[in-house]
Chains A and B, each alone.
Chain A
Amino acid sequence: MAGDLISKKLDASGIFQRVIAYGLLISLSTITILPFFFMFVVALDGYSQWGWAPTVPPRLIPSPPTLRHFTYVINAFSFGRYFLNTVIVALSVMAGNMLFDGMAAYAFARLRFRGRELIFAALLGTMMIPGEALLIPQYLIVQRLGWLNSYAALIIPSVTGIFGIFLMRQFILSIPESLDEAAIIDGCSRWMVYWRIILPLLKPALVTLALIGFVGAWNNFLWPLVVASSEKMYTLQIGLAAFREQRAAEWSALMAGTAISIIPTMIVFISLQRYYVAGLTLGSTKG
């Protein structure tokens, strides 16, 4: 049974099983944990003026440890600006998703109007479309709107999405409709029903949605690469790729930039990960 390894007395076969288990865990961690370990070593290494270098044997302990590569990429390469841009974009996308997806989902779940089913089905159909396939016309539209190199271009196409609408709709369908009806009899408008009664019940779903929106926007690469060509509008991902193209040999600075781009999402994701799974599996297995 799962959870059995420790309850067994550590006889020969128990030890053998443990060796196998740890062997597998360590093998798997070479492609997950180890690269992160190397990143921190290199980002903190004060070996030479430029920090870490591929010496033989490779340096595995930052000596002397230093934070100067972090200040260097922030001061000399505007990683501070990229960070700010990324925060603005990710928070706006997150807020947009929470507001618009929930509203649309409420309409699709509860409000009766002509064409509702048709529109919903059509929107669901678009969920299969790979984003890359729409890249060129999306770019042309943003260009036509005069949004290139603006926050609008980075934010607005992502402020709502069919995945989030579908997810929220699943949650709303699980709330008894008698709640809505009682509130309407008490004289609430539909908006008030949604805002005062449904939304508070959606909190776990909203956390899921917020998490997916935030992390997705933070990590997005292809879209900002296309619409944010001016350095002022770079997000962290674009700034990082650009830095690497210019300064490939400055390993410590590159890894400091990498750490800056990765630590916030790591914290957010790891502290909220249970919502992530709950949301994704509910959103996709039911319905």
Chain B
Amino acid sequence: MSTGTARAVKHSPGSIMRDEARTGWGFILPSLTVIGVFVIIPLISAIGLSFTDANSLNFPGVFVGLRNYLDFFTWDFAAQRALFNTLLMAALNIPLGIVFGLTAALLVNEQLPGRTFFRWGFLVPVAGSAVAVSMMWILVFEPSSGGFLNYILLKLGIIDEPQAWLGNVATAMPAVIVAMVGNFGFRMLIYLSALQGIPLELYEAAKIDGAGRWAEFRYVTWPQLMPATFFIIVNNLASALRMGFDQVYVLTGGGPMDATKVISLAIYENAFVYNQLGYSAALSVVVLIVTAIITLTIGRYIRRKAENAF
């Protein structure tokens, strides 16, 4: 192949293209194999499994039509609750994360003494795993009167006796959400880099027009940050339904009485605790459908707004 004639042949246009195609396939082969085996095939088999009564002893099980889906909609209140909880978590978490991230970015962007400390401090939970950060929150929520939160609230007279924050149906969900929104540092970073991109002339013009700080924020900063806000929302919507597994697993195990159960935990439990692979696969497909609905409705609406904003 290394002779002169072979080279000449290799460089004819047709063979260059064949060569390029071969190289192209070679370059994508490793990724294509892994994604094929661990994403595409699982996607198809999840849909297939969801119509069966498969479990680990009876695999791949018998075709049962839509029974798993009917089971979910008619009597599996725990899983329905889990889906509702997940959506609720997303509905609270995304706006709160935006408010906290934006507030943090605006403050850290000011020339205040100590800003570097807060900037790093806000980033710390972003780097930590959800499991580790949740461990810290277990400590904070310690149910005895020596727990950090209980002690402070008792001292301030806000509560009369120590609360089991994670063990009480009324407080468990808010507690989990508090533990989750500490993760706003990433949004702060996005807003910080967006803030740096706002042209200074806009602020000068606003000042000439006599704008106060609030008017400045309302009519210059906030509109200029719109693309960043849209980016954060769209990004979070796609992952809305996978929210909370790690935190809930560690903090509450989904309890008390399913008050904090999320849909990913229901999928995990049905598959690996109750050994209902087919049913669990049906829950997975429900998650896929809901995610598709969310990204195609809200996500698309926001994307269109974002395009107008640019």
Contacts and interface: CB of A to CB of B under 8 A. Distances in A.
Does B associate with A?
A: yes
Interface string B166-194: 00000000000010011011100110110
B231 A281 contact: yes
A269 interface: yes
Contacts of A106: 27
Nearest to A259: B132
B246 interface: yes
A25 interface: yes
B255 to A, nearest CB: 14
Interface in B267-310: 267-268, 271-272, 277, 280-281, 284-285, 287-288, 291-292, 295
Interface stretch (A63-71, A202-210, A217-225): A217-225
Contact of B288 (A99, A130, A261): A130
Residue of B34, B200, B204, B235 contacting most chain A CB atoms (<10 Å): B34
A138 B132 CA distance: 25
A132 to B, nearest CB: 4
A281 B190 contact: yes
B30 interface: yes
A39 to B, nearest CB: 5
Contacts of B27: 103-104, 106-107, 111, 190, 194
A137 B24 contact: no
Given A28-B100, A261-B132, A130 B241 contact: yes
Interface residues on A, range: 35 or more
Interface string B131-148: 111011111101011111
Contact of B124 (A22, A32, A134, A191): A32
B40 interface: yes
B39 A240 contact: no
A281 to B, nearest CB: 6
Contact of A35 (B34, B59, B146, B182): B182
B127 interface: yes
Contacts of A56: 145-146, 151
B42 A141 contact: yes
Interface residues of B, number: 109
Interface string A234-273: 0011001100100000010011011001100110111001
Contacts of A114: 21
Contact of A270 (B46, B127, B182, B227): B127
Contacts of B140: 34-35, 38
Given A58-B146, A113-B25, A137-B281, A32 B246 contact: no
A108 B25 CA distance: 10
B225 to A, nearest CB: 11
Nearest to B44: A137
A16 to B, nearest CB: 12
Interface string B206-239: 0100000100100001000001000100110011
A108 B123 contact: no
Given A35-B136, A190-B23, A244-B138, 13 more contacts: A25-B112, A36-B136, A58-B147, A100-B30, A100-B34, A113-B20, A113-B25, A128-B291, A133-B267, A134-B43, A237-B246, A269-B127, A278-B193
